[in-house]
A and B are shown apart, each in its own frame.
Chain A
Amino acid sequence: MSVIQVQRKPLSLAERTYIPQILSGMKTTMKHIVAKPVTVNYPEERPEIPPGYRGVPTLVRDPHGREKCVSCQLCEFVCPPKAIRITPGEIPADSPNAHVEKGPKEFEINMLRCIYCGLCQEVCPEEAIWLQNVYSSSGYTRAEMVNNKQKLYELGGTLPDTHLKWDKKKAAAEKH
């Protein structure tokens, strides 16, 4: 492609007086003065959280109330700021979920370290850890900012999935 010479026109008289530019600028400002604010009055009004928002990481249960985490610790290993600490534990043999073999005895996410990258959610083979719509966490001490297992399930709730991988595995094992 050949070179296109851009014509640099000298400023016209109207442009050199700045007046039309100033007036058009004032028109723009007036549009914003009469427009509704784009901000919200925060604690009273809350912003609408779009789907797919990556808020505070939480743990979820499946529709039968079983905790989905099997304590494989992949999230703990992948977590870049090392915010996650899992203490794995056995599931007692008399539990209805005994076939799952393992579950977290304690699961802590330090929200002072978490960078909300979502790698834990991405790496989780059980879809047990989810970054959901909680975006505001506060506390008076460092200890309060560490979400323990109970808190994580409170925040997480239930994941309405239908494939129930472990139930199918159990059924398949019983058939043989």
Chain B
Amino acid sequence: MIDFYFSLPDIVRYIIQGIAVICFLFPVGAACSMAERKVAAWAQDRPGPNRARPWLLARIPIIGPILGYFGIFNLMADGGKLLFREDITPGHVNKFYFVMAPIVAMTPALSTIVFVPFGAYLDSAGQILPVMLANVDIGILGVFALASLSVYSLILAGWASNSKYPFLGAIRASAQLISYELSMTLAVVPVLLWINAPGTTGSLSLVRVVEFQSQPGFWGGMWFVFIMPVSAFIFLITIFAETNRQPFDMPESEADLVGGYHTEYGSYKWSLFFVAEYCQMIVGSGIFILLFLGGWNPLPWIPLADLVNWLHDLLHWQWLLHPIFVGLLSIGIFVTKVLIFIFIFMWVRWTLPRFRYDQVMRIGWQRLLPLSIANLVVYIIAIALLQK
């Protein structure tokens, strides 16, 4: 089975892998909308959506009621509704860009995952190999390059809608995204400087970052969140801003801008914006985890390889060292971390009110940018002294 898979031509394999990842990412992105509603409900002391119980599926013992309780059937009903509802294109819009905007939103949201290693397995020599779509050297740079394209979707949507609220939302969104991208990039530079020690080949790959966090020893096994807390903090805030999450929910701000850039959108095109936002959140939190929280390593100072070897020594089951098991385990650890992160996104959303626009700008330019530059200078000096 595996041999057959690897005997396929590369292009076919890449397409299969890509489709597999999208088939995971897209539904999870959609399921996040239901998770959001459930977390919102719990934070407000209500049970949340749990009433949709299709006749046959709800009859399945145990699973049916549990699925019903977590609103899975509500989610399906929602998806069906958004898919089959009349797709209204208002008469006053620029049709070409109006249709293009959700596509432009979806494309970078789904394609940034290409550079994200979401797991690893051990080859026969005990070497860690990443599970990812494209293990290329540009790594994080590719993520930033693609993720920054998402601002175009907001601008296009706002401009093509040809009415006031979407236009204001789009302007706010683009200003916000551009402001926070600077701090975001500067915040991760210390990490990349640290992993590109003198004498090694230069690489911006996220795999390298995780490898650096899974070395033996006290300093080697330490996650970057402990070594560079300020970087992690700035990066975390900028992820919130870049994914337009509360408290940086500027472009949407339904209280003052109705719905922001997607006011004129409905049905499936609107849901694409929605899913794109969640996919961005997933990828963004994935990158945060890879950079600062040890990627697929289960705990600080306990790398994946140690965990697998320890389990193997304990149980002596041969399949524990099998690449498929290790791969699934690492993906499981990574996805668990991502889901916890998504929960934190929602937790923050239902805690904090939205910042005012001027506050967003002030935090971005007057607080985060100087802080990230100072952070960068401090770490440049420290790294130069440590790695000379």
Contacts and interface: CB of A to CB of B under 8 A. Distances in A.
A22 interface: yes
A32 B347 CA distance: 11
A25 B45 contact: no
A26 B349 CA distance: 10
Contacts, number: 36
B43 A29 contact: yes
B229 to A, nearest CB: 12
Complex A-B, nearest 10 residue pairs according to Cβ-Cβ distance, in ascending order: A29-B351, A38-B45, A33-B42, A25-B351, A39-B46, A37-B47, A26-B351, A29-B43, A37-B46, A32-B43
Contact of B45 (A22, A30, A35, A41): A35
A28 interface: yes
A41 B348 contact: no
Question: Chain B contact residues (Cβ within 8 angstroms of A): what range?
Answer: 10 to 19
Interface string B41-61: 111111100100000000000
A29 B47 CA distance: 15
A162 B351 CA distance: 57
B42 A38 contact: no
Given A25-B352, A26-B351, A28-B351, A33 B43 contact: yes
Interface residues of A, number: 14
Nearest to B51: A41
Interface of A: 22, 25-26, 28-30, 32-33, 35-39, 41
Contacts of B47: 37, 39, 41
A38 B46 contact: yes
Nearest to B363: A18
Contacts of B46: 37-39
A26 B47 CA distance: 19
7 contacts: A22-B351, A25-B351, A26-B348, A28-B351, A29-B347, A32-B44, A37-B47
A36 B46 CA distance: 8
B43 A22 contact: no
Given A28-B351, A38-B45, A41-B50, 16 more contacts: A22-B348, A22-B352, A25-B351, A26-B347, A26-B351, A29-B347, A29-B350, A29-B351, A30-B347, A32-B45, A33-B39, A33-B43, A33-B347, A36-B45, A37-B42, A39-B46
Tell me the interface secondary structure of chain B in the complex.
Answer: loop
A22 B350 CA distance: 11
Contacts of A38: 45-46
A112 B58 CA distance: 37
Most chain B beta-carbon neighbours within 10 Å: one of A29, A32, A38: A29
A41 B68 CA distance: 13
Contacts of B41: 37
A26 B313 CA distance: 41
A22 B50 CA distance: 30
Nearest to B359: A18
A39 B45 contact: yes
A80 B46 CA distance: 37
A17 to B, nearest CB: 8
Interface string B11-41: 0000000000000000000000000000101
Contacts of A26: 347-348, 351
A51 to B, nearest CB: 25
Contacts of B347: 26, 29-30, 33
A115 to B, nearest CB: 29
Contacts of A30: 347
A39 to B, nearest CB: 5
A85 B273 CA distance: 58
Nearest to B48: A37
Contacts of A29: 43, 347, 350-351
